[in-house]
Structures are given as C-alpha cells and as structure tokens.
Structure 1
Amino acid sequence: MSFQTPLTISEVINDIHSKKYLLPSIQREFVWSSEQISMLFDSLMRDYPISSFLFWKVPKEKASEFKFYEFLRDFHQRENRHNPKADINGSDDVMAVLDGQQRLTSLYLALKGTYATKLAYKKWDNPLAYPKKKLYLNLLGTPENISYEYEFEFLTDAEAARSDADHHWFPVGKMLDLKEQYDVMNYMIEAGLSSNPDKEKAKYANKVLYKLHSVIHINKIISYYLEQSTELDKVLNIFIRVNSGGTTLSYSDLLLSFATAQWETRDAREEINEFVDEINQIGRGFKISKDIVLKACLVLCDMSDISFKVDNFNRTNMLLIEKEWDNITKAIRDALVLISSFGFSRENMTSNNLMIPIAYYFKTIGLPNNFETSTSKIEDRKNIKLWFISALLKRVFSFAPDGALKPMREIIKSQSSNGFPIDAIFAKFKGTNRALQFTDDDIENLLYSKYNHGETLVILSILYPWADLKHNFHLDHMFPKSKFTDKRLKTYGIPDEKISDFKANCNYIGNIQLLEEIPNIEKKAMDFNKWLNEKIPAGELKDYKQKHYVPNVSLDFSNFDVFLEEREKLLIQKLKTELRK
C-alpha cells in the first residue's frame, strides 16, 4: 500500500462520472444524510481535514474475478438507493474505492446529482413525498446554526429561486463549469452580486465564491493510498479495519461483505437488496431492514449462536445461508403475507423480530402454499395471530431479542407437528419478564391507549375480528373530537366541573371505533346519536351496536362519561375472551 499524489475534487468527480472509479461489492451502500453532506462542504470551506481515502487498483485481467458497482448518480430514498452493477468489459484497470465511498458519493451528489428524501408529514408511498433537491450555497449570509460557518442547504429549484437581501442561492454543482477565475468573476457580474449596494455583502459573496472555486478546482484535497493486492481475504480485512470509524459498518453491512466474498453461485448483495425491496411492498408496506433479514437467516438455518459476531459469519455459515436462500426467502415472504392479512404493516408492527418465529414455523412445516387463505389452517392462523398480538402488546422483543428467539425456535422445532405450538410458548415464558399472558390489570391498562398511539390499531384488531384490515378502515371518534372544546361542551350543557374530564377522555380507545372509509367521511363531525339514527338503517342498528360495543345507555353528548365507562366494560370483556390462553 503506497501514498499517492493528491487530486482535486473536480478531477475525482470527473473520473467518477466517466466510471473510472467504481465500488467493490463488499462496499456498503450510501447512508449519509443531507446534514452530513452539508457539514462535509462546510469543513472543506474551512480547510478542515476530511481524512485520506483508500483506493484498490485491480488489473484488467483480474477484474472479472470480482463484482463492482457504479456510484449513485441521484439518490432517492424510496426508488434509487442501490448502486447499479458496473460493466467492466473495457480495456482499463479498475480503480475501486475501499475507504471513502460515503464522502465521494456525497461530493458527487452535491456537484452533479440530486438528493431526495421523504418529507416528514407525507406517507412513504406518496410519490410527492420525495422532492428532488440540489445542494446550494448562500452567498449573502451565514447560517443561524453556529456549528456551521457557511450556509449550505439542499433545496428544490423553486426554493432556491426565492432570493432576498440576505439570500442568493448558488447551485454548488455550477462550480464545475466555472473552471477559471474569470468565470467566477463573470458569474458575479451576471448575477448582479458585484454591484450589490451593500458592499459588505458583495465582498462576502466574492470571498465565498472564490473559496469554493479553490476547494473544487485548485486545492489538492483528495489524498489517498493505493492498494494493489488481488487477494480478496487481504482486501476484505483491510476494508473492515478502515471502516471502523466514520459511519460505522452495521452488522448487515459486515455480513454482506462476508457473504459477497464467500457466496459461490449468487450475488449476495443483489439478492438481499432485491429481496428487502420486494418484501417491503407486501400489503400496505413494511419496513424490514437487511439486518432483520440476515438475523432471520441465522435463526432459520438453525445456527447455535444467532448473535451478530464476526465468528458467526464464517465461510461455512455463509455457504449454508446461500444453500438455504430460496427456502429462507419463501418463509419470510409467507410470514409477512400472513402478518399483512392480520392487518399489520409498517405503521403498526412495532418490532420486525416478530416475523422471525412465524417464518421459522413455516420453514419447519415444509413451507406450505397459500397458508394465509387455506381453510385447513384456520385454527393455526388464529393461534399465530394470538401469539403475534400478545408478543407485540407485551413488547417481548423490545430488549435482548435473542433471549426470546432461541427458546421459541426450540419449541417450534420440537412441537410443531400439531400446529403452531402456542400453548408451549406461553408456558415457557410464564412468570418471566417476557410473559405473554394478560392479567386483569394488563387488559385494563390497554384502555389507556389513545387515538394516535401505535398499539391502538393492534387492540382494535382484537376487538374487530370481522374487519379485514388489509382494506381501508379509519379510526373514528364516536363522539367527534372537534366537539370537545370548552365553548362547545358548554353549549351541550356540560357542567364546568366535568369539562376537563370530557376533554381528557375523548381520545381514549373507549371512544374509538373502526369505520370503513366512506361511512367515516360521511360521519364527519355529526353527533354520534344523530349519525346512528340517520345513517344506520333501523333493521341493522342492533347488529351495529353489538359489533361496535355500543352500550345500552343514552347516547346524548351530555352522557359521554357514562357511555365511556359502560363501553370500556364491554371492551374489557371482549379483550379477556380474546387474550386469555
């Protein structure tokens, strides 16, 4: 390994663009946030060191023995997170990046690409939730955050166009076109920055723009070492060691590095990435990570030690996972299809570890087809659902999941001949801090769940077993939430001493029902008793009240406290029936 002559950023970016630099398959994918990219550029502008890089030169005659990927050209959190496979059939040697991919990808995206992440207030499957943004530098002011000296921001074109006396957003990528210093001066003149009546701002813009020009075109910032060994074990060892800092390798990245190097007939990186993307589209969508899939591999392959340790990722284990990959993926896929049929998704499955025992059960019983719809599996599905909901509500996997996964695996392995062994699992954990049984206090505490709590829909799935939650059901306030204001409650004649209690209790599950989308839209803010009388046919009213646990009390708004107390009694009765084993 030898130290090489440093390069400028513009030289490296042009070489990445022409695909001179590639990524080895053992390399992790891009994980940096927009804030990390902005901080990188702030550091560059302040002449802070950004550490050296490590490149791996692979002779063209040896390149075909390895797999390589291109750099991301545009990052999209949902649709474009994976690096495309590189075509290495050319006549040149391959220059692969062993250390520095996150920094180099960040530089490329900032100077030539776009960056799109989900807006916090929009749903993950909404295409409009991921606006494409570019990196801009404000030439007229400094950031409010004192940790930064220069104001770099990822903005849409529309956001960047909103300039004012304190903001002129310069697209950072445009600096690649301003190769000479006179190009920078011409931009200053054409943008009217040189003639700014505020001379201090004009000077600041001039200083910042020339500084950015130096960072990109003049200063030789990219210092790097070159490794030329073609021994994969040596390269893999170097890769793991140098990636112990920065954004540290996750366990899944580490395992993928080993798997990629040791799988013989499949491309581990592509197989696992494609599978994760696929299963996260099941039903209303899941959020299964590579870590969970690889954890499931250890469990489903019956490895004695399922913890994430380098010793567990040896060649023998990796080859076993490769051999069992088709069975593993079917088991996980079928488990998530079943969980989706229960009405669960990324929105309300609070621990992804929950799918692993179900997948292991499917693999143990021979991976039956159509388990989620087979009439012969009704009782089995009922038991799996009860276990799933109990484990979820009891937060069995919220700490040290191996302590639950290993004993569950042993029970399933030895006692699954007559169906999912729910009794044995419940008995195993009885009296421990992972107990699945519900006491009276446990069940009553469930009623403290509120409208926007993650577990509320879980509880409603127990109370509404007839509701197919794969379809669009809404959580509806039976007594409309909008009516619980001081002014409106007084118009209903609620005494002052009761108003605070009414307001405090309106969001509890005792006032929540599951309602199909259209009836919920029609209901809007109608008083509950009025809606029942006008929208529910007289012949269906009795059935509706039974299905929705409506107590036989006055439904006038002034009687809300009595309604809530009596409905909670009905809910407790149902929960005791469903959660007791």
Structure 2
Amino acid sequence: MAFEKPITIKEAVENMAARQFLLPSIQREFVWKPEQMEKLFDSLMKEYPVGSFLFWSVQGDNVHNYQFYEFIRDFHEKDNKRNPKATTSGMHSLTAILDGQQRLTSLYIGLKGSYTEKLPYKRVNDPNAYDKKKLYLNLKMPSDRIDFRFLSDKEVVSYPKGEYFWYRVGDILNCNGMPDIFKFITVNNITENFASECLMMLFQQVIMSPVIHFFMEKGNELDKVLNIFIRVNSGGTQLTYSDLLLSIATAQWENEDARDRITELVDEINDYGDGFNFDKDTVLKSCLVLCDFTDISFKVDNFNAANMKKIEDEWDTISQSIRVAVKLLASFGYNAKTLTANSVIIPVAYYIYRIGNPINFDVASKHQDDRNQIKKFVIVSLLKRIFGGQPDNVLRPMREIIKGMTDKFSFDAIKSNLKITNKSLRIDDEDINALLYTKYGSNYAFSLLALLYPTLDYRNIFHQDHIIPRSLLKSQTKLRKLGLTNDQINFCLENVDYIGNLQLLEGVPNIEKSDMPTQQWLDQTYPTAQEQADFRHKHYIPSVELSASKFEEFMKQREVLIANKLEQILI
C-alpha cells in the first residue's frame, strides 16, 4: 500500500456527489462541529497540511456484499444527522473511505451543503429552533485567522457592509480562473487587495492544488481492511473489532437494525441490579455461541449472510436468554465491579436458551436448584479465572457439556468434564489456602464472600465489612495506646484487609457499625447471648475476644473456619 497520485478538493467533492466515494458501514457518524470545519478551511488557506487519507478500492462482489453509506451533504441536528444508505445496484467498483471521513464530510458540507443546528434556549420540537447555515468567507477583514463562518441568510445581511463582505465559499466551484475572480471583485466594488488574495488562494487550494494525499488499499480481504481501519483510528475513540463486525451484521439483517437492537440490549442489561459493564462483544459472542455455530471467533466469515439470518431469526429468544442470565447474576449480588469476567454469562445464557427460556426462571421456586448450581458455577469460574486469556477455548467445550444437561444444570458435570490445558474448575487445598489471601477491595473478594453466605438475599445491598475495624488496625498510634507490641502492630497492619477479617453486612447495619468497637456494636445490636452466638455462627466468627490485642488469634481461628467451609462447599 503506497501513496497514489493526489487529487484536488474539487475532484473529491465531485466523487462524493456522484456517490463514487462512499463510507463503509464500519464508519461512525459525522461528529464535527462548525468550529472544527471552519478551522479546516482556515488551515487550507494557510497551506497547512490537512493530513493523509486512507481509501479502499472495492471491486466485484464486495460492492454488493456489504452495506455502504453516502456522505452527508446537508446536515441537520435533528432531521438529518445519519448517513443515508447507498444503493450500489449496477455498480462494479467504488472507493470506500477508511480514514478521513470527518475531513471529507466537512469539505463537502462547506462547499456544497449546509449545517443546521438548534438555536440555544429553543425546544427540540420547535420548527423555528433550527437555523440552516452555509459556509462564508469574509473578504474585508484580514487577520491571522482567516474569517470563515457558518452563517444563516439572516446573519449574512445583519453584518455592517462596510466591515464585512461575506462570500459563499461554495461559489468557488463555479469559478474558472483569475478572470472570474477579478470580475467578481469589480462588480461588487471591492477595493481591498486582501479580497483578491483570499479568493485566489481559495481557488488555488480547492480547484488547482492536489492537496488530498491518500493511500489506496486494494485488497479484497475484509479482515485485513478491518484491522487497518482499527489501526488508523486508534488515536481517537477506539473501535473494537466487534464494532466493525456489528456494522457488517447491520448490513446483513433484513427486518431489524442489528446495531440498534444490540446496543439497546446492552444498555438494558447494564441497568440491571447495581449496574453492569457489558458491551457489544459479549452480546455478539453470545449470539455465535447460542446459535451453535461451530466457529465462534470474531471473524468476518462468521458474520456472513446465512449466519446473520439465523441470528436475526433467533434474536428474540437469544436476547431474552441474555436478559435472564444477567438478572440471575444481579440476584447473586454481582455488579460491574465484582463481575470480573463478563463471558461467564454466556454459558448461563446458553443453558437458559437450551431449556426454552422458562417463565420466571430467575425467581420461581421450582428452578431454585438450577439457580444454586448456576451460582456455584459462576462463583468458582470467577475465582478460578477460567475465562482469562482466550475465552473461546473455554466456551466451546463448555457448550458441549451443557448440551448434555437435559434436566438440571450441573456444576459438577462441568467441573468433571472440562478439560483445558492449565485451566480447571477443580478446587484443592492449595487453592483454598490461596483464597485466604484475598484482600478487601479485590475484585474477587465478593465472589469468595458470596460462597460463604449462600442464603443471603442479594437484592438487598451488602457491604464488605471489616470485623475488627480497619480504622483501628491501620493506626499505629491507636494500637500503641492499647499497649500492643511492635510484632502485634505489624501483624495488624499486614493482615487487616485479608478475607479472614471480612464479612458481608447489609448496608444500614454496616453504616451503624462504622468504626465502633466490634464487641460494643454486638452488645448494642444483639443484646442476648444467644443472638450473639447466632451472629458469630452465621459469620464464621470464633469464640475469641474481638479486640486488636487478640487480632492474631482471631485471624488464625477464623481462617480455619472459613477454610473448612470452603472445603465443604468446593471439595
């Protein structure tokens, strides 16, 4: 790929108008504001470089295999801000713009179109709230920044004639050379040399000088084109490969807009519970897995017309399975911070999809056993970080195991049959010992605590609470006042945040507890000996004095209780 012979702005504009230059569906919408477009024309007049462009020569079947869009000519903030779909019927070749959309659109709007934006303090639905503006150049005010402005017809005539003469920039396209420029200046009685200099420079930069320098990619492999596109657009808001594949999917769906449906679903599921951070990648991958495609990798070949038709046909069922899976995770107490691998919802959604999306699966009592098994699967998968690295290598064999589950979800079936190099859901004593080093604030702390509290209703808000207050154990001053030795102080400082000192408390009780000494809070909240004994049992708290001086003994005994419980659950 090398630089081609550059072209003029006029040639580029004519190609856009003739629909020979089009935008691939991987491009985003036009987002530049009038000020940015004005600065682009100012840079042209000062002969600054405006950057190189990247074009793609589309030939043969690719002209019709993918959706392309026209450039926006008359932008309207409310009624016309999306690129119209291009009709390529009868075309055998075209040029797709991979890099330079914003600049080329700005040139097109400035020379041939208009920009309509809402006036401030006007209602969106007020027809008088929008002002159609075209690009003008002031021929009577020399300055360091040549005066380009988008102006409405009313604004043009509102300026004092002695100080401003607004020239419609697009009129330069009808100029045939210097004689036309001098004729215009004479007819309009313009005496300033600045005016003729401006018009001559505008003519030179738009009509004469080949300022559009571009690379031309001529390959037909769309995977290569997508990777090029990602690379050249990495400086701005980065697109993922799935963003581009989604654009291709949009072109393949016949009755629905894939982009709209998938982004709507992402927004919806991210609002469940305390909020999640799912993205289009997760939904697209779920589509490939749930439809039982052999290859579930993000490749262009997997987003062909046949596969996209199946996904479109199954969309209602697929999307409902994903919704239920996310609702389940929310009911387990997970959110954007604690769900350390979004891919864990895919096997869950696949199981729900396989059993036909039963009504009220996330709350009905008859599905309680299923939910318990799924919860265990989710927690252990996250703790064992099973989806790290290449999730596809886990999702494929996991899907085959789930296919064999005819009646109930079985965590043990997955644990026993999942055979992947360096990955396993099996837990041994070494794993349990490692889990005891999980710390407060770790993304995995919630998953571990959730194993210890299987019966909590996680629709309520629970906080990770330090049993012996952190404010005490992290303060050397306070610890010395209590008479602790240097070794005891060091132990407190080093171990305060480990799982052995953490419990789950509902939000309100935890706020009430705050930095209160633990035994004082217990006496106040649970006044009877039996109530305190029940609390200690529920939270795996040993019969040890709950004080800083006894913190080391407390930690050793509580870690034993936690380890025993984890062994009972996991081994």
Q: Please state which band the TM-score falls in when normalised by the shorter chain.
A: 0.5 to 0.7
Query: How many Å apart are 1:238 and its aligned residue?
Result: 11
1:305 is matched by which residue type in structure 2?
Answer: D
What is the root-mean-square deviation of aligned Cα atoms in Å? 4.7
Q: Which residue of 2 aligns with 1:5?
A: 8
2:454 to 465, 469, 475: 465
Q: Which residue of 2 aligns with 1:577?
A: 568
Query: What is the alpha-carbon distance in structure 1 between the residues aligned to residue 223 and residue 419 of structure 2?
Result: 45
User: How many residues of Structure 1 are paired with residues of Structure 2 in the alignment?
Assistant: 453
Contact 2:68 2:85 in 1 (8 A): no
Structure 1, residues 173-201: CA drift from partner, whole Å, max 9, x if none?
xxx999678475799xxxxxxxxxxxxxx
1:564 is aligned to 2:564? no
Contact 1:430 1:437 in 2 (8 A): no
1:364 is aligned to 2:350? no
Query: What is the alpha-carbon distance in structure 2 between the residues aligned to residue 433 and residue 253 of structure 1?
Result: 31
Check 1:49–1:457 CA distance in 2 against 1; reply closer, same or farther (3 A cut).
Answer: same
Contact 2:29 2:82 in 1 (8 A): no
Query: How many Å apart are 1:257 and its aligned residue?
Result: 3.0
Query: What is the alpha-carbon distance in structure 2 between the residues aligned to residue 447 and residue 46 of structure 1?
Result: 65
- Classify the secondary structure of the residue corresponding to 2:9: coil
Contact 1:551 1:567 in 2 (8 A): yes
Identity percentage of aligned residues: 38
TM-score between the two structures when normalised by the length of structure 2: 0.67
1:395 to 380, 385, 391: 385
Query: How many Å apart are 1:566 and its aligned residue?
Result: 1.1
Check 1:103–1:321 CA distance in 2 against 1; reply closer, same or farther (3 A cut).
Answer: same
Check 1:377–1:503 CA distance in 2 against 1; reply closer, same or farther (3 A cut).
Answer: same
Check 1:294–1:571 CA distance in 2 against 1; reply closer, same or farther (3 A cut).
Answer: same
Contact 1:510 1:564 in 2 (8 A): yes
Query: How many Å apart are 1:446 and its aligned residue?
Result: 0.8
Contact 1:55 1:99 in 2 (8 A): yes
Query: How many Å apart are 1:373 and its aligned residue?
Result: 0.6
Check 1:241–1:427 CA distance in 2 against 1; reply closer, same or farther (3 A cut).
Answer: closer
Superposed counterparts of 1:261-340, under 5 Å: 261-340=251-330
1:449 to 404, 416, 438: 438
Query: What is the alpha-carbon distance in structure 2 between the residues aligned to residue 67 and residue 514 of structure 1?
Result: 53
Superposed counterparts of 1:139-178, under 5 Å: none
Check 1:259–1:459 CA distance in 2 against 1; reply closer, same or farther (3 A cut).
Answer: same
Query: How many Å apart are 1:54 and its aligned residue?
Result: 5.2
Query: What is the alpha-carbon distance in structure 1 between the residues aligned to residue 72 and residue 569 of structure 2?
Result: 53
Contact 1:30 1:101 in 2 (8 A): no
Superposed counterparts of 1:416-427, under 5 Å: 416-427=405-416
1:451 is matched by which residue type in structure 2?
Answer: Y
Query: How many Å apart are 1:529 and its aligned residue?
Result: 1.5
1:243 is aligned to 2:229? yes
Q: Which residue of 2 aligns with 1:156?
A: none
2:424 is matched by which residue type in structure 1?
Answer: A
Superposed counterparts of 1:93-104, under 5 Å: 98-100=97-99, 103-104=102-103
- Classify the secondary structure of the residue corresponding to 2:504: strand
Check 1:181–1:236 CA distance in 2 against 1; reply closer, same or farther (3 A cut).
Answer: farther
Query: What is the alpha-carbon distance in structure 2 between the residues aligned to residue 282 and residue 217 of structure 1?
Result: 57
1:52 is aligned to 2:47? no
- Classify the secondary structure of the residue corresponding to 1:454: coil
Contact 1:23 1:70 in 2 (8 A): no
- Classify the secondary structure of the residue corresponding to 1:271: helix
Q: Which residue of 2 aligns with 1:166?
A: none
1:544 is aligned to 2:530? no
1:347 to 326, 337, 340: 337
Check 1:68–1:388 CA distance in 2 against 1; reply closer, same or farther (3 A cut).
Answer: farther
1:408 is aligned to 2:398? yes
Contact 2:273 2:335 in 1 (8 A): yes
Contact 2:415 2:425 in 1 (8 A): yes
Query: What is the alpha-carbon distance in structure 1 between the residues aligned to residue 342 and residue 52 of structure 2?
Result: 37
Query: What is the alpha-carbon distance in structure 2 between the residues aligned to residue 541 and residue 571 of structure 1?
Result: 19
Structure 1, residues 119-168: CA drift from partner, whole Å, max 9, x if none?
xxxxxxxxxxxxxxxxxxxxxxxxxxxxxxxxxxxxxxxxxxxxxxxxxx
Structure 1, residues 237-269: CA drift from partner, whole Å, max 9, x if none?
997586264126633133223212222222122
Contact 1:25 1:68 in 2 (8 A): no
Structure 1, residues 208-243: CA drift from partner, whole Å, max 9, x if none?
xxxxxxx9999769737899xxxxx99989975862
Superposed counterparts of 1:35-50, under 5 Å: 47=48, 50=51
Report the more deviating stretch, 478-487 or 365-374.
478-487
Check 1:416–1:507 CA distance in 2 against 1; reply closer, same or farther (3 A cut).
Answer: same
Report the more deviating stretch, 378-387 or 242-251.
242-251
Query: How many Å apart are 1:365 and its aligned residue?
Result: 0.8
1:570 is matched by which residue type in structure 2?
Answer: L
Contact 1:480 1:527 in 2 (8 A): yes
Check 1:355–1:183 CA distance in 2 against 1; reply closer, same or farther (3 A cut).
Answer: farther
Contact 1:297 1:321 in 2 (8 A): yes
Query: What is the alpha-carbon distance in structure 1 between the residues aligned to residue 321 and residue 447 of structure 2?
Result: 23
Query: What is the alpha-carbon distance in structure 2 between the residues aligned to residue 531 and residue 217 of structure 1?
Result: 82
2:232 is matched by which residue type in structure 1?
Answer: G
1:434 is aligned to 2:423? yes
Q: Which residue of 2 aligns with 1:527?
A: 517
Contact 2:99 2:232 in 1 (8 A): no
Structure 1, residues 69-121: CA drift from partner, whole Å, max 9, x if none?
979x999xxxxxxx9645789xxxxx99833367559999xxx999xxxxxxx
Query: What is the alpha-carbon distance in structure 2 between the residues aligned to residue 337 and residue 456 of structure 1?
Result: 21
Check 1:286–1:182 CA distance in 2 against 1; reply closer, same or farther (3 A cut).
Answer: same
Query: How many Å apart are 1:391 and its aligned residue?
Result: 0.9
TM-score between the two structures when normalised by the length of structure 1: 0.66
Query: Which structure 2 residue ranges, 5 or more long, are not aligned?
Result: 58-63, 87-93, 108-114, 118-134, 147-200
Query: What is the alpha-carbon distance in structure 2 between the residues aligned to residue 431 and residue 239 of structure 1?
Result: 33
Structure 1, residues 362-406: CA drift from partner, whole Å, max 9, x if none?
111111121111111111111111111111111111022122111
Check 1:524–1:84 CA distance in 2 against 1; reply closer, same or farther (3 A cut).
Answer: farther
2:9 is matched by which residue type in structure 1?
Answer: P
Query: How many Å apart are 1:536 and its aligned residue?
Result: 2.6
Check 1:322–1:50 CA distance in 2 against 1; reply closer, same or farther (3 A cut).
Answer: same
Check 1:419–1:488 CA distance in 2 against 1; reply closer, same or farther (3 A cut).
Answer: same
Q: Which residue of 2 aligns with 1:164?
A: none
Query: Which structure 1 residue ranges, 5 or more long, are not aligned?
Result: 57-61, 76-82, 90-94, 115-175, 188-214, 228-232
1:579 is matched by which residue type in structure 2?
Answer: L
Q: Which residue of 2 aligns with 1:124?
A: none
Contact 1:449 1:509 in 2 (8 A): yes
Q: Which residue of 1 aligns with 2:175?
A: none
Query: What is the alpha-carbon distance in structure 2 between the residues aligned to residue 326 and residue 107 of structure 1?
Result: 40
Report the more deviating stretch, 270-279 or 559-568.
270-279
- Classify the secondary structure of the residue corresponding to 2:535: helix
Query: How many Å apart are 1:304 and its aligned residue?
Result: 1.0
Structure 1, residues 501-547: CA drift from partner, whole Å, max 9, x if none?
11011111111111122222222211111221223332522221111
Query: How many Å apart are 1:457 and its aligned residue?
Result: 0.8
Q: Which residue of 2 aligns with 1:259?
A: 249
